[in-house]
Amino acid sequence: MRAVIQRVSEASVTVDGTVTGSIGNGLLVLAGFEDADTKDDLEWLAGKIVQMRIFNDEEGVMNKSLLDVGGDILLVSQFTLHASTRKGNRPSYIRASKPPVAIPLYEQFIKMLETSANKKIETGIFGADMKVRLLNDGPVTIVMDTKNKE
């Protein structure tokens, strides 16, 4: 599983002109799933996301977690995170899970994030043409891959 985590002042996702998810201060998480992903991968990443100290403390040092600042999460599925660009100019998405595998992983990840953050997680709509708006704070952007845990 790959994720791009962005610290935001605000973020929202719109599908067909309707806002499906919106947050203020918190994290926008773009998540891509692959067939090899396990429950352990999802749990590890959910825990890292909510406990990662990437919010500023009183001295302006990134020393606080999402839990510490009471921030929210907007989760957006994004299969393009598994793009392979080795050959030619058209990316291949062969490693990205197809919907029958990815949707259950996505739904399970939402539940794990809700448990870890102890609050509702805002989302986009899996597989939809989504318009994502964000105000990146910092900017702070972290890329994580569960295959690189160690």
3-state secondary structure of 135: strand
CA distance 52 to 64: 8
Closest C-alpha to 27, from 128, 141, 119: 141
d(CA 59, CA 30): 29
What are the catalytic residues? 78-80
Q: What is the DSSP letter of 60?
A: S
Task: Please answer whether residues 46 and 57 qualify as being in contact, where contact means their C-beta atoms are separated by less than 8 angstroms.
Answer: no
Q: How far apart, in whole angstroms, are the C-alpha atoms of residue 111 and residue 116?
A: 9
